[in-house]
Amino acid sequence: MSLMTRRIGSGLVLSLILIGMAGSAYHSSHIATAARWSSLAAVSRQVRPSLAVGVAESSCPVPASGIQYQAAAIPGGGKTVALTFDDGPGASTAAILSILKSFGVRATFFNIGVQETEWPQDVRAEAADGFLIGNHTWDHPNMTTLSAAGQAAEMDKVIDEQQSLVGSSPCVFRPPYGDYNSTTLSLARQRHMAVWLWDVDTQDWMAEGSSSVYWVNRIISLAESEGGALSHPVVLMHNQGIPMPATVAALPTIIRFFRSHGYTFVDLLGRTGPPSPGYWLVTARGNVYAFGDAGWRGSEAGKVLPAPVVGMASTPDGAGYWLVTARGKVYAFGDAAYYGSETGKVLPAPVVGMAVS
């Protein structure tokens, strides 16, 4: 299991919390969805200008050059498979997450920014459950039709949105329709993102919301016939805004097929097995460091605090946490609700810790 570390700021470590986490060749297969995505551009909201590349520290590994197609190998060899879901989150995301968790397998979600604004709870769930979240642009354009500034904006809006929702930046990028150029590759690499396509296309988007047995069997057949012929397939599926019952119905059979044929499930960072536990460290200055599959939800780094931070507590599902200072001031992050604090009161002694009921 790979260890992912996210570091923000500096200072003395005071406490630790443990948690248990409950191009163009592909264009023709997806061009029919272009008109649908073009309509989403109208709801694109204003965010800050493109990120100043190289300023912010990244938790991502150094991205491989060029286009990636094959799932990562694992120590000792053996076949691997990477399940990937594009165009979400959407109406079927929760059901897909439930299936993946029930089988204890990894997967990668390539989210679209405008979809994240509609389904923020599912983005948080993906992160809290330890799944890898990738960047699939803000509103699904053909990147080769855009200027460098336009391509950068498509990437950076999603980076901003993911940071605001889960406190981390995407480490992987997938261009819509599989279309890219040298500018796409350069911009993604500058943003610490590896560029991934796929080599198994289930064409599940063609079902257009149908639950017909025909579509379920077709999705399964394409996954098994194309993926079973490869040692390290990357499987393309979708979790669009519309319900995708055929994809949901096919997924358990697809997982059983690859597992019965000796494949190990990996995400596109090469992590294996079910999402692992993780933990946080917090400093007196309010810096938060996340390890393992613990999600980084925010910190007070860089702010002037009324007193040193002396404690930290996590929500049961790890989707949020609180910090508390020696003077009883409480800061809430992620899904942690704020219930009050002792700010401004004269305490008989400094606060020394925090616990969750």
Q: Are residues 195 and 220 in the same domain?
A: yes
Query: Last residue of a domain, which of 265, 300, 333?
Result: 265
Q: Alpha-carbon distance 232 to 213, whole Å?
A: 28
* Residue 275: pLDDT band with limits 50, 70, 90: low
- Structural domains in the chain (count): 2
Read off the tokens for 210. 């149908």
Cα-based distances in Å from 206 to 179, 254, 347:
19, 18, 64
Domain that holds residue 287: 1-21+276-357
Q: Are residues 240 and 294 in the same domain?
A: no
**42 pLDDT higher than 70:** no
271 within domain boundaries? no
Mean pLDDT of 252-266: 97
pLDDT value, residue 233:
98
Q: Alpha-carbon distance 288 to 10, whole Å?
A: 9
Do 106 and 272 touch, CB atoms closer than 8 A? yes
Q: Which residues are within 8 A (CB) of 283 and not within 5 positions of it... i.e. 6 or more apart?
A: 9, 10, 11, 12, 13, 14, 309
pLDDT value, residue 334:
78
86 within domain boundaries? yes
Written as one letter, the residue type at 33 is T
Q: Are residues 291 and 236 in the same domain?
A: no
- Digit-coded pLDDT (tens) for 85-104: 999 999 999 999 999 999 99
- Digit-coded pLDDT (tens) for 193-239: 999 999 999 999 999 999 999 999 999 999 999 999 999 999 999 99
pLDDT value, residue 336:
84
- Digit-coded pLDDT (tens) for 1-39: 333 333 333 333 444 444 443 344 444 445 444 444 444
Q: Which residues are within 8 A (CB) of 151 and not within 5 positions of it... i.e. 6 or more apart?
A: 143, 183, 184, 187
134 within domain boundaries? yes
pLDDT value, residue 302:
87
Query: Last residue of a domain, which of 239, 265, 291?
Result: 265
- Digit-coded pLDDT (tens) for 136-192: 999 999 999 999 999 999 999 999 999 999 888 999 999 999 999 999 999 999 999
Cα-based distances in Å from 159 to 49, 192, 289, 350:
12, 11, 19, 39
Q: Which residues are within 8 A (CB) of 176 and not within 5 positions of it... i.e. 6 or more apart?
A: 30, 37, 136, 137, 140, 141, 142, 143
Q: Which residues are within 8 A (CB) of 92 and not within 5 positions of it... i.e. 6 or more apart?
A: 239, 240, 243, 244, 245, 247, 248
- Digit-coded pLDDT (tens) for 290-334: 776 676 778 888 889 999 999 999 876 666 789 999 999 999 987
Q: Are residues 243 and 326 in the same domain?
A: no
Q: Which residues are within 8 A (CB) of 170 and not within 5 positions of it... i.e. 6 or more apart?
A: 133, 134, 135, 158, 159, 162, 193
Q: Which of 260, 199, 236, 271 is nearest to 83 (CA)?
A: 236
What are the backbone angles phi and psi of residue 344, rounded to the nearest 5°? 85, -5
What are the backbone angles phi and psi of residue 235, rounded to the nearest 5°? -95, 125
pTM score above 0.85: no
Q: Are residues 14 and 27 in the same domain?
A: no
270 within domain boundaries? no
6 within domain boundaries? yes
Q: Are residues 3 and 79 in the same domain?
A: no
**49 pLDDT higher than 50:** no
pLDDT value, residue 203:
98
Q: Are residues 185 and 118 in the same domain?
A: yes
Query: Last residue of a domain, which of 202, 236, 265?
Result: 265
Q: Alpha-carbon distance 193 to 111, whole Å?
A: 14
81 within domain boundaries? yes
Half-sphere exposure for 134 (CA within 13 Å, toward CB): 24
Q: Are residues 4 and 148 in the same domain?
A: no
Sign of CA dihedral 317, 17, 74, 235: positive
Q: What is the dihedral of CA 96, 97, 99, 103, to 10 degrees?
A: 140
Q: Are residues 9 and 68 in the same domain?
A: no
pLDDT value, residue 356:
82
Q: Are residues 184 and 282 in the same domain?
A: no
Q: Are residues 179 and 303 in the same domain?
A: no
CATH of the domain at 194: 3.20.20.370
* Residue 64: pLDDT band with limits 50, 70, 90: very high
Q: Are residues 261 and 281 in the same domain?
A: no
